[in-house]
């Protein structure tokens, strides 16, 4: 459960839906339907540990909505996973898919565990048992999992194999974010960060800031954060700070992102990277910079620290990093926030490409994947920007208007059966 005074992510997600519903004058019956997940699964995952003992983990899978297509969403392994968190993330996935107009609904999954304290064999046994418990609820036309926090292509490969063995034939479209060698898509591993970098570039144009020389700070140097940093650096930006769960590094002259990625791969953290000053995560959030990329977990920017933010643009590579009270403070300061459901939608967009390729058994080049991603992210950014201008809204409210409106229309057209 959330700490006292903290935001409950499910309550935040429902509040966002209700506010969007009021803005677009959505029918109350549709609002009621979209306020509740379609399915919630909680499963026990008995797992044999390396020392011979049995540990029973708890896992969740939530399917929020399927009116526009099968459910889609990641699976995270983290000690702080909770049912309310997974429900909120599933709702946000519904809007994320809708805002970039791909034919999915939202889902999310999680297991309460600490993967940093588990061996590879333990993770495999836990993953395969979790998959077995979900066999009747996932599938290429039902619900397609993907990687999330502390899961990766190898975890997706175990899910693919477990599901396929139960079906009796290879089913590559059951998961996305899997290794290329077994049906993954080129460009998928970089897609979330690349998509975030693309919309950041467009946001800088909106704010009349030249990306060449723009100063960028990235809080959370995992897959999404590190790729966003690398792509933005390639576009001409200067990455002045990055951080992970152990701390951060800062260099006014700019950080060599590729070398920092290698340093983290070797040491497990960016801390002590050469020719950089050490900073805390809180200090990073308050740096004087053009772009701040929160790429870690939820509730990173809150009413307690939002006033200290000096960035002109925030591009949310993480899910739910900004609380509602913090958003109001940022709006008052004139900070241009590209919300999570748009800024990090590159991952699910290329997951969609992977799903299409897997279903057809016809695979695209990396250039083709990146070109299609570029087109969808740029078009989606300007659709949201147009809605923001039309309604005099911030980008978050505009993105929710676009996304919720699309889902509500699908619900209206399909009706309620029986």
Distances (CA, A) of 263 to 152, 243, 254: 20, 12, 16
Q: Cβ atoms within 10 A of the Cβ of 205, count?
A: 12
Question: Which whole number is the average pLDDT over 149-174?
Answer: 96
Q: What is d(CA 270, CA 277) in angstroms, rounded to the nearest whole number? A: 11
DSSP codes of every residue in 179-202: -GGGTPPTTHHHHHHHHHHHHHHH
**What are the structure tokens assigned to 306, written together?**
């939002």
> What domains, with CATH codes, occur in the chain?
36-173 (3.40.50.10860), 190-334 (3.40.50.720)
Residue range 395-409: average pLDDT?
98
Catalytic residue list contains 108: yes
What's the rounded mean pLDDT across residues 311-327? 93
Q: At what angle do helices 395-414 and 83-99 cross, to 10 degrees?
A: 90
Q: What is the DSSP letter of 7?
A: P
> Is the per-residue pLDDT at 4 higher than 80?
no
pLDDT bin (cut points 50, 70, 90) of residue 50 is very high
- Report the alpha-carbon distance of residue 177 to residue 155 in Å, rounded: 9
Give the active site residue among 108, 178, 230, 264. 108
pLDDT tens digits for range 336-360: 999 999 999 999 999 999 999 999 9
Q: Quote the CA–CA distance of 172 and 413 in Å, as a whole number.
A: 31
The pLDDT assigned to 298 comes to: 78
* Predicted confidence (pLDDT) at residue 373 exceeds the cutoff of 50: yes
Query: Token pair 């994320």 is at which residue?
Result: 96
pLDDT for 6: 61
Closest to 134 measured CA to CA, from 162, 104, 176: 162
The reported pTM is 0.92
Average pLDDT over residues 165-188: 96
Q: Phi-psi category of 183—alpha, beta or left, where left has phi over 0 and alpha has psi -120 to 50? A: left
**pLDDT > 70? residue 5:** no
* Model pLDDT for residues 98-138, shown as the tens digit of each residue: 999 999 999 999 999 999 999 999 999 999 999 999 999 99
Checking if the pLDDT of 19 tops 50, the result is yes
Could you tell me which of 298, 91, 315, 81 has the C-alpha nearest to residue 200?
Answer: 315
Q: How far apart are CA 371 and CA 349, in angstroms?
A: 12
**How many CB atoms sit inside 10 A of residue 418's CB?**
3
% residues pLDDT > 70 (the chain) = 98
pLDDT at residue 191 greater than cutoff 80: yes
Closest CA to 68 of 352, 418, 375: 352
Q: In the prediction, which pLDDT does 115 show?
A: 97
Alpha-carbon gap, residue 315 to 23, rounded angstroms: 24
Mean pLDDT of the chain: 95
So what's the pLDDT on residue 319?
84
What is the number of alpha carbons within 13 Å of residue 231 lying toward its C-beta?
A: 22
Q: Which pair of structure tokens corresponds to residue 32?
A: 């009621």
| Averaged pLDDT for residues 71-99 | 96
pLDDT digits (tens, 9 = 90+) for 258-304: 999 999 999 999 999 999 999 999 999 999 999 999 998 778 899 99
Asked whether the predicted pLDDT for residue 1 surpasses 70, the reply is no
In the 8-state DSSP scheme, what is residue 8? P
Asked if 372 contacts 353 with a C-beta cutoff of 8 angstroms, the reply is: yes
Residues 155, 127 contacting (CB under 8 angstroms):
yes
- The number of beta carbons lying within 10 Å of the beta carbon of residue 310 is 15
Helix (H) and strand (E) counts for the chain? 14, 12
């Amino acid at each position: 459960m959330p700490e006292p005074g903290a935001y409950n992510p499910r309550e935040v997600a429902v509040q966002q839906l209700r506010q969007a519903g009021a803005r677009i004058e959505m029918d109350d019956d549709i609002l009621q339907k979209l306020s509740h997940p379609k399915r919630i699964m909680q499963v026990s995952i008995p797992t044999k540990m390396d020392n011979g003992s049995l540990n029973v983990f708890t896992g969740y899978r939530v399917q929020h909505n399927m009116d526009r297509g099968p459910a889609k969403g990641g699976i995270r392994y983290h000690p702080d996973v909770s049912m309310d968190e997974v429900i909120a993330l599933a709702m946000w996935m519904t809007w994320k898919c809708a805002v970039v107009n791909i034919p999915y609904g939202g889902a999310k999954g999680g297991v309460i565990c600490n993967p940093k304290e588990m061996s590879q064999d333990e993770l495999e046994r836990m993953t395969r048992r979790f998959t077995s418990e979900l066999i009747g609820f996932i599938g290429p036309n039902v619900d397609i999992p993907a990687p999330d926090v502390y899961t990766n292509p190898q975890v997706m490969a175990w899910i693919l194999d477990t599901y396929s063995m139960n079906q009796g034939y290879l089913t590559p479209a059951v998961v996305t974010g899997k290794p290329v060698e077994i049906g993954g898509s080129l460009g998928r591993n970089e897609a979330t960060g690349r998509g975030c970098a693309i919309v950041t570039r467009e946001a800088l144009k909106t704010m009349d800031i030249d990306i060449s020389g723009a100063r960028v700070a990235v809080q959370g140097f995992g897959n999404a954060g590190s790729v966003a940093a690398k792509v933005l650096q390639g576009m001409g930006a200067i990455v002045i700070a990055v951080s992970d769960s152990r701390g951060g590094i800062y260099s006014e002259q700019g950080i060599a992102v590729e070398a920092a990625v290698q340093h983290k791969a070797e040491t497990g953290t960016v801390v002590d990277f050469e020719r950089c000053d050490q900073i805390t995560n809180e200090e990073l959030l308050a740096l004087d910079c053009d772009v701040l990329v929160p790429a870690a977990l939820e509730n990173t920017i809150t009413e307690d620290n939002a006033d200290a933010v000096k960035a002109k643009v925030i591009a949310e590579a993480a899910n739910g990093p900004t609380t509602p009270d913090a958003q109001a403070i940022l709006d008052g300061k004139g900070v241009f926030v590209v919300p999570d459901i748009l800024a990090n939608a590159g991952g699910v967009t290329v997951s969609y490409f992977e799903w299409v390729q897997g279903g057809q058994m016809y695979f695209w080049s990396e250039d083709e994947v990146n070109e299609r991603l570029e087109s969808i992210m740029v078009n989606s950014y300007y659709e949201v920007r147009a809605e923001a201008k039309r309604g005099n809204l911030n980008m978050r409210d505009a993105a929710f208007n676009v996304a919720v409106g699309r889902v509500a229309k699908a619900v209206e057209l399909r009706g309620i059966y029986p």
